[in-house]
Structure 1
Amino acid sequence: MNTARPAVGAPLGPLTFAKLGGGEITVGAPGARWTMLVVYRGKHCPRCKRYLNKLSGMLDNWNEHMDVVVVSADPAEKAQADMDEFGWTFDLCYDLSEAQMRALGLYVSDPLSEAETDRRFAEPGTFAIRPSGELMLVDISNGPASRPDLDELLDGMIFNITKDRPARGLA
């Protein structure tokens, strides 16, 4: 059962994630830059890896306009294995808790087998957060096959940032 979705146009509230390489990253707290938070299913998901490979290839373009943070429920070892295999250059976080999944309004899935993974995990989600901590954009999916096109998303976010567009879909 999912809890209510986070409200666009309202503060997300700070969420803190453990970061590969040490330390933590907090999103949703007031800061200097926009943030794009990308939640992926984990090491077991080949679609996620293709998506994140594309994101990593575009990262310089993204970083011109906003910070990018990527997180999954995987433990550090699995996240590190993906980082090592693919050479991703974005901030990669791990151990997304079920409470954090619920706070983000994500769909939460049980593994279909031990071969998939050994814990509950979040289905994909993408969240644009203003420097004020206000949630600007939410895109969530209940499965691996649906996620925003990264080229379109970047183009749209550049427009939203430069034109200071308000959050939509408030009602």
Structure 2
Amino acid sequence: MPSMKLDAGSQFPEMDFHLVGGAMVSIGGARERWTLFIVYRGKHCPKCKTYLNKLEAMKGDWEAAGFDILVVSADPETKAKADLEEFGWTFPLAYGLSERQMEALGLYISSPLSEAENDRNFAEPGHFCISPSGVLQITCISNGPAARPDLADLLAGMQFNIANQRPPRGLA
């Protein structure tokens, strides 16, 4: 069970990540654009690959709607780089999500079922839509790979929220 949850309408915590390829990226705080931040389970998860391939196909739609994208896992750089090379994703891919960061994001953390699955604890899926002011608009966390928001529905909902200046929900 997550140790805490991020409250909708709160400031998203500032975090730094290494991107495959060597650059650093920060999340949280004020930005010029909205952010779609996705946490995936890692190289061992075939459902993640299917989901991230759908994200790649919709990347232009998200960007046209005013979103920057960042995807991260707990994997080391070698595994994240292998995924990037195999699937040809063009969105920024970060690695090395720590357990402390997982906890700060309110994510479910799983231990590997075998060495074939993974060699470390990893985060279950998490999705966060963050406003340019750094406020968490939408959060969706799952305790397993089968439950994730449909990316087209999420985008349509966010476009509606932005166009109608809807506040974050679930505050009461």
Q: Distance in 2 between matches of 1:159 and 1:18?
A: 32
The runs of 5 or more residues in structure 2 that have no matched partner are none
- Distance in 1 (CA, whole Å) between partners of 2:20 and 2:3 is 28
- TM-score for the superposition, normalised by structure 2: 0.97
Alpha-carbon RMSD across the aligned residues, in angstroms, is: 0.9
- Counterpart in 1 of 2:104? 103
Deviation at 1:13, TM superposition (A): 2.0
Aligned to 2:6: 6
1:162 corresponds to 2:163? yes
Residue 36 of structure 1 deviates from its aligned partner by 0.5
7-16 vs 91-100, which deviates more? 7-16
SS at match of 1:58: helix
Tell me if 1:115 matches 2:116.
Answer: yes
Query: Residues 1-171 of structure 1 correspond to what in structure 2 (within 5 A)?
Result: 2-64=2-64, 65-171=66-172
Q: Give the TM-score of the pair, scaled to structure 1.
A: 0.97
CA distance in 1, matches of 2:53, 2:83: 10
- 1:74 CA displacement: 0.3
Query: How far apart are 1:46 and its partner, in Å?
Result: 0.2
Farther off after superposition, 17-26 or 90-99 = 17-26
User: Given residue 23 of structure 2, which amino acid in structure 1 is its aligned partner?
Assistant: G
- The separation in 2 between residues aligned to 1:72 and 1:130, in whole angstroms, is 22
What amino acid is aligned across from residue 45 of structure 1 in structure 2? C
Q: Which amino acid aligns with 1:105?
A: G
The sequence identity of aligned pairs, in percent, is 57
- In the alignment of these two chains, the number of paired residues is 171
Gaps of 5+ in 1: none
User: In structure 2, how many angstroms separate the alpha carbons of the residues matched to 1:52 and 1:125?
Assistant: 13
Output one character per residue of 1:46-66: Cα deviation in whole Å (capped at 9) or x when no partner.
Answer: 000000001001101111120
Task: Tell me the CA shift for residue 17 of structure 1.
Answer: 1.0
Q: Secondary structure at the match of 2:82?
A: helix
Q: Matches of 2:25 and 2:165 in 1, distance apart?
A: 25
